[in-house]
Amino acid sequence: MIITKKALPRRTFLKGMQATLALPLLDAMIPAATALANTAASPTPRLSYVFMPMGTDIARWTPQGGEILGELPPVLSPLEKVKDHVSVVTNLELQNSYPGTHDTSNSGFLSAAFAKHTESSDYHLGTTADQIAAKAIGQDTQLPSLEMSMDLNPLAGVCNNGYACVYTNNLSWSSPTTPLPSEAHPRIVFERLFGEGGSQAERRAALRSRASLLDSFHEDIARLKRLVGVGDGARIDQYLDSVREIERQIQLAEAAAEENLEGRDFDRPVGVPAGFADHAALMFDLQLLAFQADITRVSTFQLTRELSNRTYPEIGVPEPHHPTSHHGNDPVKVEKIAQIGTFHVSLFADFLGKLQATPDGEGSLLDNTVLLYGSGMGNPSLHDHINLPILVAGGASCGMRGGRHIEYENGTPLANLHMTLLDRVGVQLDSFGDSTGKIEDLFDPVPV
């Protein structure tokens, strides 16, 4: 651990035998010569993208009653407690995703680019918004970006309409020919953030003998807390409690999975909670920790990919998602699509609530994180890419104003929103995808 008499370096780590533990933002990290008394360090902007597949029932998504976000429609109702930090944006389009398919919905969401129609390895798309941000604001962190998903097994070969599965598997592309695989296994994400790698066999063996990684930092943590103020001590305790709780959840899931694997001769990853909501919550918690400790400032999370046949019996939808999305205006199927959409939004709402409850600088982690949530498909029964379900959240320190419903002209490129969000976290572009400009009315003037 590196400590100076004037201040802790922002990139202060606790280093163990097999792990490195980054610290959250602390008042003690302000240089003594420039810090104001009792003032937290200036906020660092983060950028988060969350993808939901196959659109939704847009009638149950779209708010009514003007620009102020009043009574929330059914699909967005889980956001009630955080709606002052959320703005719904309607009439955005992915023109480059036509001809409309599930593959191009997935690939176009963050690229706003045309996906080359190919079944082979000569795929070509575009650098995605998250990776443009990672190259600009992610170079000073341990991980330039973090790519996460909920689907453990990537698809192979040709997925749909002659498009290679690479378009469906991956949200993030670091270049037009370089997709970045996402990780759905919470233990592997945890180890990527905090260390302790090794093969799957080594990780399974360690499961039976490993104590919490925090135990190896016990003396350093105690020494650190003696050197900082009361407020910083509380921040450290909250952060370490979160790390330990996530580790506990992963270990419980691993132990349960190990027990279920007894006597079976197939290889299956361990450490993944059985329930979709539990798995998603754990992945969201890992994103929160990565932002809190400034391990990364850019993340993407694919709740499920396009063409997913996942079922949701826990919310009364035992039918596979993809076939149900082809509802043909059948009211029963449309209602089920709305139920799935509401369920996904509820998981995102819980994440926003946790960000809001996490101090960061003079505000919260929600204040200092710009989030985009939505889909690359509007009406899944038509495979269209107009009037996309899109909302933005957080970002108060970047000038974002919440509690609003913003209706743009039909056909406004989603790329315009990407450019605007990038601009607000300090990444200036002249153009992106099929952009035609920025949409500054979502925000107050840029903070000076």
Q: What is the pLDDT of residues 64-90, one digit of tens each?
A: 978 899 899 999 999 999 999 999 999
Burial label for 77, CB within 10 Å (0-12, 13-18, 19+), is middle
Whether residues 84 and 203 fall in one domain: no
Note whether residue 285 is domain-resident: no
Model pLDDT for residues 195-226, shown as the tens digit of each residue: 654 555 555 555 444 456 666 666 777 777 77
CA distances from 184 to 65, 193, 270, 305, 382 (A): 39, 14, 11, 12, 29
In this prediction, residue 266 carries a pLDDT of 35
Q: Which two tokens stand for residue 240?
A: 């370490």
Instruction: Identify the domain containing residue 199 by its residue range.
Output: 1-42+185-271
pLDDT band, very low/low/confident/very high, at 273 (cuts 50, 70, 90): confident
Whether residues 256 and 318 fall in one domain: no
Query: What span, in angstroms and rounded, lies between the C-alpha atoms of 262 and 200?
Result: 16
Whether residues 27 and 115 fall in one domain: no
Whether residues 308 and 429 fall in one domain: yes
Note whether residue 276 is domain-resident: no
Whether residues 9 and 67 fall in one domain: no
Helix orientation angle between 102-111 and 129-137, rounded to the nearest 10 degrees: 30
Query: What span, in angstroms and rounded, lies between the C-alpha atoms of 287 and 297?
Result: 10
Query: What span, in angstroms and rounded, lies between the C-alpha atoms of 341 and 243?
Result: 29
Query: What span, in angstroms and rounded, lies between the C-alpha atoms of 93 and 125?
Result: 17
Note whether residue 289 is domain-resident: no
Contact call for residues 405 and 73 (beta carbons, < 8 A): no
Whether residues 267 and 319 fall in one domain: no
Whether residues 328 and 375 fall in one domain: yes
pLDDT band, very low/low/confident/very high, at 140 (cuts 50, 70, 90): confident
Whether residues 415 and 360 fall in one domain: yes
Model pLDDT for residues 82-134, shown as the tens digit of each residue: 999 999 999 999 999 998 789 999 999 999 999 999 988 899 999 999 999 99
CA quadruple 183, 188, 194, 198: dihedral, nearest 10: -130
Paired sense of beta strands 359-360 and 298-302, if any: unpaired
Contact call for residues 31 and 351 (beta carbons, < 8 A): no
Note whether residue 310 is domain-resident: yes
Note whether residue 128 is domain-resident: yes
In this prediction, residue 368 carries a pLDDT of 96
Element (H, E) at 233: helix 230-261
Contact call for residues 41 and 26 (beta carbons, < 8 A): yes
| CATH number reported for the structural domain that contains residue 97 in this entry | 3.40.720
Whether residues 405 and 264 fall in one domain: no
Whether residues 425 and 320 fall in one domain: yes
Average pLDDT, the chain: 84
Give me the number of domains the chain comprises.
2
Write down how long the chain is.
448
- Of residues 178, 196, 176, the one with CA closest to residue 188: 196
CA angle 354, 418, 97 (to 5 degrees): 115
Whether residues 333 and 418 fall in one domain: yes
- Domain end (from 271, 286, 311): 271
Whether residues 176 and 95 fall in one domain: yes
Note whether residue 383 is domain-resident: yes
